[in-house]
Amino acid sequence: MTSEISYRHNNPIGRLPILNVEPTVEAGRWAAKAFVGEVIPFSAVSFREGHDALGVELLLTNPKGDLSIKRMHAGAAGTDSWHTAVQLEDQGLWKFQIRAFSDEYETWHHNTEVKLAAGVDEELMMLEGVALFTRAAAEKDRKKANAKELVQAAEVLADQSHSPSARFAAALNVKLLKAIAEHPVRALETLSETYEINCERTLAGAGAWYEFFPRSEGAKYDSKTKTWKSGTFKTATKSLARVAEMGFDVLYLPPVHPIGEAFRKGPNNSLNAVGQDPGSPWAIGSTAGGHDTIHPDLGTEKDFAAFVKAAGALGIEIAMDLAVQASPDHPWVQTNPEWFTTRADGSIAYAENPPKKYQDIYPVNFDNDREGIYQEILRVVKHWISLGVKIFRVDNPHTKPVNFWEWLIAEINAEHPDVIFLAEAFTRPAMMHTLGKVGFQQSYTYFTWRNTPADLRDYLLELSRETAAYFRPNFWVSTPDILTQYLQYGGRPGHKIRAALAAMSTPSWGLYAGYELVESVARPGAEEHIDSEKYEYKVRDWDAAEQSGRSIASYVAKLNHIRRDHPSLGQLRNIEFHHSDDGAFLVFSKHISAEHSFTGEADTILVVVNTDPHAVRETTVRLDLTKLGLPAEANFEVQDLITGERYHWSSNNFVRLDAFDEPAHILHVVRTKKK
C-alpha cells in the first residue's frame, strides 16, 4: 500500500538538491542585473547521496529564445559548489536554470578504473559499459553522429578477444570523449527554478561621467556694472570638446529648469539671495515654468535639443537631473497644493534635514495624490526622452517611496529599454540596495569616504561579490556638495590618487568640473566647497590652468583612454587583491580571458597605488600570479600605461612611488617569460 507524501511547504527539494543559485536577487523576486559585454559568473550548490558522480549544467536562454547549455565545473573541494561564466552580448531579458544530473558515464568510468587496477569485476564492468553506451545511443534527442560513437564504444567493450584493460583504453578515444562532452549521459535530471537576468546596454554598467553647470560654461562678469551674464546651451556647446578630449561618455547636467525666487539661497547657502544671485538649480519652478521647462537664461528647447545633438556627435550622452521637488514658486504649488504636506499652521512644509533647512524647496508628498503625482512625473520624464535624453541622474531618490521608483522605472523601460537611471542616494545600505533591486541601473556609493587601503579593499569586495547582482556602483570622486578632508588636504597628489582608484577599480566613475583643476578650498567647518557653484556662477580659465601646470586634465584623459583600450577594466566582478608590505599601498588586478575580450586576446591590468598623498613610499608587492592568469612561478614583463616604462616582474617586486610625481602604477601585462 502506498500513501501520498505531504510537504510542509510548496517547494520541496528536488531529487538532486540545487541550492544557493547565483546570480539571483531575493530568490528571484527581481531580475538580476547585467550589461551588454559583462561577464556573469553563475554558481550553485548541488550534491547527492552516496558516491556516484554528479554533473551540473547551466541552461541559459537569450532574449531571442535561443537555449545554450554550458557544463559547470566543481569549486573548492568540500564546498559542493559549481561554477561557470558567460559573457552576455544581447540586450534584453535572459532566463536561466541550473540542471543537476547523475553523471552515468563519469560514475562508470571512475568505477571501472578502480576495479581494473584492483583486478576485480573486470568483465562485469565491460558489460556495464556496453549497457550504458547502448542505452545512451538510443536516446531520442541524441544526434546520429554522436550516437554512432557510443555504439562503436559499446562494440569495442564487448569484444572479448582483447583484455578488459585494452578494451577500456580503446573505447575511450578522442571521438568518444568529445561525444560525451557534447551530450552527457544523464539520469535523475533535476531542474532548479527559472531565474531572470535583465541585460541592459553597456552604458548602464560601464562608463565615465562628467558634471558641469551649463550656466557657468560661458558665463561672463562685467566688473564695471557688476553684473553677470549667464552661460547658455549655445556657449556650453563649446565646452563639449573639452569633455570629449578627456574621454568622458556621459555629461550630467544639474537641473536646467526655472529657479524659484521665494527664499532663494545666496552664496554658500546663505538664507537670502541678493542682486543677481542665480539660486540653487534644485529649487525648481517659477512663473516661467516647472520640470518640463528650460530656464530662460539657458535658452530654448530648440537650443537644448541642439546641445544634445552636438554632444552625441562627439560620442557623449547627456544625463538629465530628475529632482522630484518644487520651489514655493513652482506651478504645482498653485495647481496641485495637495501634492505637498500642509502643516498645522496652514503653511506648506519645506525640506529639512535637521539642523539643515531648505526653505527654497518643497518636498512632494506621494501619499496625498498617488495617481496624479505618478502620472505627472511619468509625463515629465517622457518629455525629456522626446528631446533626446536617455539618462537621468535622480536627486535624493531615498527620500521618495521605493514603490514609486519601481513603478516609474518599469513603465519607462518597458517603452524605452535604453533609458538609464542613476540614484544619487547617500544613505543607509538597505535603502541604497533596495533602490538597485527595484530598477535603478546605477547608484552613487560610499567610495567618497573610503580612503584607506583596508576600507577600499573591503568595500570593493562587497560591491564586486556580495551586491553585484543588483547594485551597480558609480564611483564619483567629487560632487558640488562634497569635498572630503582627504581632498581638502591631499592637493594634486590626492586628486590623482582618487581619480586612479575610481577609474581603474570600477566600470563606472565620475567627477564634477573643477576637480581637474584641483579645486579643494573648503567652506569652514564643512566637507563642502567654498563658494559652491550650486549658488553662484563659476568661471574657470581652463587654458591658463593647463599652461601653469595646475590642471590634471591630461591625467584624467589618460585614465579614460586606458579604460577604453583595456576590456578587463570594463568589468566589475573580476577585481582581485594582492599584498603589500606597506599598508599605505592598495594593490589590485583585473583580468579577462581571450574568450571574453573584445580584442580577442587576454587582458590583464595590475594597479599599485600609494594612497598617502603626502609622501614617497616604498614597499614589496607580493602577487598571487594565478589571479593574473599566469603560472605561479612566472617572470613577466609589464608596461606602465601612465609613464610608458617597462619592468620585469615576478611574484615579489620592489616598488617606490612618489605621491608628488606619479602616485600609481597602472601596469599592463604585455608578455610572459619562462623562468
| Catalytic residue ranges | 395, 424
Measured between alpha carbons, how far is 669 from 471 in angstroms, rounded to an integer?
A: 30
Helix (H) or strand (E) holding 443: strand 442-443
Strands 391-395 and 616-622: unpaired
Torsion angle of C-alpha atoms 171, 177, 181, 186, degrees rounded to 10: 10
Sheet containing 81-87: order of strands: 18-22, 39-46, 81-87, 73-74
User: What is the CA 500 to chain-centroid distance, rounded?
Assistant: 17
Nearest by Cα to 439 from 28, 30, 26, 22: 30
User: What is the CA 410 to chain-centroid distance, rounded?
Assistant: 19
Measured between alpha carbons, how far is 664 from 608 in angstroms, rounded to an integer?
A: 6
**Assigned C-alpha cell, 52:** 556516484
**Do the beta carbons of residue 234 and residue 299 sit within 8 Å?**
yes
Alpha helices in 62-103, H assignment, sequence order = none
Measured between alpha carbons, how far is 504 from 7 in angstroms, rounded to an integer?
A: 51
DSSP-derived secondary structure letter, 311: H
**Assigned C-alpha cell, 321:** 537631473
* Secondary structure of residue 160 in the 3-state scheme: coil
DSSP letter for each residue of 327-382: -TTSHHHHH-GGGS-B-TTSPBPPEEETTEEETT-EE--TTTSHHHHHHHHHHHHH
* 3-state class percentages of the chain: helix first, strand second, coil last, to nearest 5: 35, 25, 40
Measured between alpha carbons, how far is 661 from 58 in angstroms, rounded to an integer?
A: 49
Cell numbers 544639474 correspond to 254
Strands 92-103 and 186-191: antiparallel
Task: Count CA atoms within 13 Å of residue 513 on its CB side.
Answer: 26
Measured between alpha carbons, how far is 640 from 556 in angstroms, rounded to an integer?
A: 16
Cis bond leading into 328, ω under 30°? Answer: no
Nearest by Cα to 412 from 432, 428, 390, 434: 390
In sequence order, the β-bridge partners of residue 362 are 326
Measured between alpha carbons, how far is 235 from 227 in angstroms, rounded to an integer?
A: 18
Alpha helices in 65-163, H assignment, sequence order = 104-118, 122-137, 144-158
Measured between alpha carbons, how far is 471 from 60 in angstroms, rounded to an integer?
A: 22
Cis bond leading into 23, ω under 30°? Answer: yes
203-to-37, 199, 391, 442, 514 alpha-carbon distances in Å = 10, 11, 10, 10, 24
Those residues whose C-beta lies under 8 Å from the C-beta of residue 349, and which sit 6 or more positions away, are 340, 341, 342, 343, 362, 363
